[in-house]
Amino acid sequence: MFSHSFIKYIMSSGLEDQQRVQVVVCGRRFELTVAVLSMYTSLFRRFFHEAFAALRRGESGADVWKSCYHTAAENLQKEKEEKEAESKLNTKTDLTPSTTITSVDLIVPVVSVERDERDGHVLWRFVYTSTLLAPEDVGVIFVYIRKLFQWHHNNNNNNNNNNNNNNNNSGKSSQPQLPIRWDELPYDAQLSLSRVVCTFGVEPLIGKYDYPTAAAAAAVVKDEVHAEKDTIGNENRTGCFLSAREKAEEYLRQQEGKEKQDSSKAKEVISHPSTTITKEEEQEEVRGVVHPSVDDDDLFLATTACSRCGVTGHTDAECTR
């Protein structure tokens, strides 16, 4: 494995300061460094290993970066499939074939990979548009590995200082933990988080959060094609959450439903025990009802008008015409 030597190369060559990474998930942007992603995610470590090798060969361009990404993703998926096969031999599972999750269901593909170089600084950009990848989970995990990287860096500095001072018990801090309670999460939430872990190959979380463990009696695993065909607001969607646009549309639908209910209540005929209201009287009652949306004193202006000239501001008696 080239992980340690490759990360050491990144840190020593100054790439940590010169090259940053932007991961875009459903329009949400997250920025990290090459070193952070290379240290804790096998996908990006493999990608940058391939990409830097291509640059040394004088190769570049969108097709080259996409090819490097596919190579990294294929190796990651192959490694996960081998672990799945080994796990099936060693353990028994109660999951039925209809609810069994595979690496294909957990790894979300990238849409585009770009490299932008300006003034000696490089920005790598990876774009994911699938709704199967939840931006909220991506953000939580990226913050976690960033803190883990900082903790590792601080501990290394403290160890060096302690060795110089012959004091090995001072300056150490506890290792950061992912701020979730896995066992309390429902199946869909676990599945969504597992997709982030498996898509990027987050090594500190592999074996813990890379496979949903909650009960999935009624859950149906959907691939990318099925997810795209889901209607907005469908409660049967699994493994993904409503986007901001979908939440807004759902809110508008609820508001529209409330307005229809208010309107229907306003049109109800007021019946009296000894009086029968005719159709004409019913229509007259409805015309006289003020809709809640305009039932505000500030919306009505008191004024006078002249029936002779049609001008407001004076009465018929005050008209000079």
For residues 56 and 142, give the distance between their C-alpha atoms in angstroms, rounded to a whole number.
Answer: 29
Please write the tens of the pLDDT for every residue from 93-110. 444 443 456 655 789 999
Structural domain span for residue 124: 3-163+176-243
Residue 159 lies in a domain: yes
* pLDDT band per the 50, 70, 90 thresholds, residue 222: very low
**CA 74/CA 124 separation, integer angstroms:** 20
Q: How far, in whole angstroms, is CA 202 from its chain's centroid?
A: 17
Contact 69/44 with Cβ under 8 angstroms? no
Q: Are strands 121-128 and 112-118 parallel, antiparallel or unpaired?
A: antiparallel
Identify whether 305 is part of a domain: no
In a domain, 302, yes or no: no
Q: Is 299 a domain residue? A: no
224 compared with 305, residue with greater pLDDT: 305
Position 296 in a domain? no
The span from the CA of 11 to the CA of 4, in Å, is: 11
Residue 141 has pLDDT above 90, yes or no: yes
Residue 63, domain member (yes or no): yes
Torsion of CA 254, 260, 262, 266, to 10 degrees: 180
Spacing of C-alpha 1 from chain mean position: 32
142-174 tens-digit pLDDT: 999 999 999 988 887 766 666 656 555 555 678
Query: How many Å apart are CA 178 and CA 192, to the nearest integer?
Result: 15
pLDDT band at residue 113 under the 50/70/90 scheme: very high
Cα–Cα distance, 79 to 138 (Å, whole number): 22
Within a domain: residue 313?
A: no
- Percent of the residues in the chain that have a pLDDT greater than 90, as a whole number: 41
**Per-residue pLDDT tens over the stretch 182-205:** 999 999 999 999 999 999 999 999
Q: What is the pTM of this model?
A: 0.61
Three-state DSSP state, 118: strand
Residue with tokens 């970066």: 65
Domains in the chain, number: 1
Domain-located, residue 287: no
Name the residue with tokens 């066992």.
183
Residue 45 pLDDT class (50, 70, 90 cuts): very high
- The C-alpha R_g of the chain, in whole angstroms, comes to 32
- CB contact at 8 A, 141 and 202: yes
Tokens of 150: 């900082």
